[in-house]
Amino acid sequence: MQGVDCPPALAAALEDSFGPHLKFVCERTARALAACGYSGLLVHSGSLVPVFEDDRSYAFEAHAPFKIWAPLGDVPDSFVWFEPGRQPRLLVHRPADYWHKPADPPHGYWVRHFDVRLVSDLAATRAALPPVLAQAAYIGDAFVELPTWGVKAVNPPALMRRLDYDRAAKTPYELACLREANRLGARGHLAAREAFDAGASEFEIELAFLKGCGLREQELPYNPIVALNAWGAVLHYQMLEKTTPAARHSLLIDAGAEFAGYASDITRTYSHEDVAFRSLIERVDRLQQALCAGLRSGVDWREVHLRAHALTGEVLRDADLIRCGADEAVATGVTRVFLPHGIGHLLGLEVHDVGGFMASAEGGELPRPENHPYLRLTRTLEEGFVVTMEPGIYFIPQLLDAARAQPLGSRINWPCVEGFMKFGGIRIEDDLAVTANASENLTRDAFRALTPPESIV
Q: What is the pLDDT of residue 453?
A: 52
Distance CA 18, CA 68 (A): 11
Residue 81 contacts residue 56 (beta carbons within 8 Å): no
Distance CA 378, CA 370 (A): 12
> Within this chain, do residues 429 and 349 fall inside the same structural domain, yes or no?
yes
pLDDT-derived band at 383, boundaries 50, 70, 90: very high
> Within this chain, do residues 298 and 336 fall inside the same structural domain, yes or no?
yes
pLDDT-derived band at 5, boundaries 50, 70, 90: low
> Within this chain, do residues 110 and 251 fall inside the same structural domain, yes or no?
no
Could you tell me which residues come within 8 angstroms of residue 258 by beta carbon, excluding any fewer than 6 positions away? Answer: 73, 181, 184, 215, 219, 220, 221, 264
> Within this chain, do residues 119 and 266 fall inside the same structural domain, yes or no?
no
Q: What is the pLDDT of residue 452?
A: 63
Span 65-89, average pLDDT: 97
pTM above 0.85?
Answer: yes
In this structure, is residue 1 part of a structural domain?
Answer: no
- With H, G, I as helix, E, B as strand and everything else as coil, classify residue 93: strand
Q: Which domain holds residue 48?
A: 8-166
> Within this chain, do residues 137 and 185 fall inside the same structural domain, yes or no?
no
Span 124-148, average pLDDT: 97
Residue 218 contacts residue 59 (beta carbons within 8 Å): yes
> Within this chain, do residues 181 and 113 fall inside the same structural domain, yes or no?
no
In this structure, is residue 448 part of a structural domain?
Answer: yes
pLDDT more than 70, % of the chain: 98
> Within this chain, do residues 263 and 359 fall inside the same structural domain, yes or no?
yes
Average pLDDT of the chain, as a whole number: 96
Q: How distant, in Å, are the alpha carbons of 241, 271, 318, 457 from that of 276? A: 26, 9, 12, 16
Work out how many domains the chain is built from and give that number: 2
Q: 218: domain CATH number?
A: 3.90.230.10
Distance CA 316, CA 15 (A): 48
In this structure, is residue 2 part of a structural domain?
Answer: no
Check whether 2 has a pLDDT greater than 50.
no
Distance CA 71, CA 176 (A): 13
The 10 Å Cβ neighbour count of residue 120 is: 13
pLDDT in tens, 228-272: 999 999 999 999 999 999 999 999 999 999 999 999 999 999 999
Check whether 112 has a pLDDT greater than 70.
yes
In this structure, is residue 384 part of a structural domain?
Answer: yes
